[in-house]
Amino acid sequence: MTVAKDRRHYSKAPVVEALIDIQIEQVPAVDLAAVERLTQAVLPEFPTRLPLHHLQMGFQVSPGGDAEFMKDQQTLGYRLDRPGRVLQFRTTGFSYSHLAPYSDWTTFSAEAQGYWDLYLDALAPTRANRCAVRMINRLPLPAGDIRLVNCLNFYPTLPDSLPTNAQSLFMQLQLPMKQVDPDAIAILGLYSAPPAPGPNAIMLDIDFVIQRSIPVGEAFQVLAILGDKKDEIFEACITDEIRKLIA
């Protein structure tokens, strides 16, 4: 039996979007009509439904040398919205998002698993080929002279000969996390926050992925591991200056 992890709770959780994503192996092919029936079943909970399309464009050159423009658009599934939540049912997989204000991982993952179970019952996939947990955080920064070294343990450094008043920031690291799973990768992003009312802020984006063939019945066991480890990554990236602002 898996023991529930004690998680640090922040009353001002900086999460602007938490995402659980599962991609499936399409053997046998998933029927779009079954996805449509599934979305109809949850419309009372998610009144807004938008189609998701896959668009391919290119050129084909005939033997005579003439180029012909080609475009193919296929419907992959549907995006369903309600306040604070976004659900996607696709022929290629499933995703569930929790928008701000964020509650907690236990609530979020339990909701996601309920909709995943509906997906399994309706579409009967046998294996997943990608499981991911993504947490996009808008971290408030202290007022006054903002020095990232005081706020974060993950930040860019500049040579002394260059100006330090950068106007924008984008930094990404892709880290193999073999201590978690041989196929796990953590993608850490640090970038400028979009303008918004309130204090200065910076975005910390944690995308934790395992990409390999997994029986669908084990997908949420894998996601539970990623859910624990993404907390450890978050805590490792921030300092007490940030903790005081989100406590």
Q: pLDDT tens for residues 204-217?
A: 999 999 999 999 99
Q: Name the band, by pLDDT with cuts 50, 70 and 90, for residue 2.
A: very low
Average pLDDT over residues 213-236: 97
Q: Is residue 229 part of a domain?
A: yes
Residue-wise pLDDT tens digits, 72-100? 668 899 999 999 999 999 999 999 999 99
Q: Is residue 113 part of a domain?
A: yes
Q: Name the band, by pLDDT with cuts 50, 70 and 90, for residue 113.
A: very high
> How much is the pLDDT for 65?
62
Q: Is residue 92 part of a domain?
A: yes
Q: Is residue 7 part of a domain?
A: no
- Counting the structural domains of the chain, the total is 1
Distance, in Å, from the CA atom of 21 to the CA atom of 158, rounded to the nearest integer, reads: 35
CA 134 to chain centre: 3
Angle value at C-alpha 168, between 100 and 175, nearest 5 degrees: 70
Q: Is residue 61 part of a domain?
A: yes
Q: Which two tokens stand for residue 89?
A: 């049912």
Q: Is residue 118 part of a domain?
A: yes
Q: Is residue 75 part of a domain?
A: yes
Asked if residue 218 has pLDDT above 80, the reply is yes
Residue 36 Rama label (left phi>0; alpha psi -120 to 50; beta)? alpha
This prediction's pTM: 0.89
> Burial level of 165, CB count in 10 A (0-12/13-18/19+)?
exposed
Residue 42 structural domain: 15-157+166-246
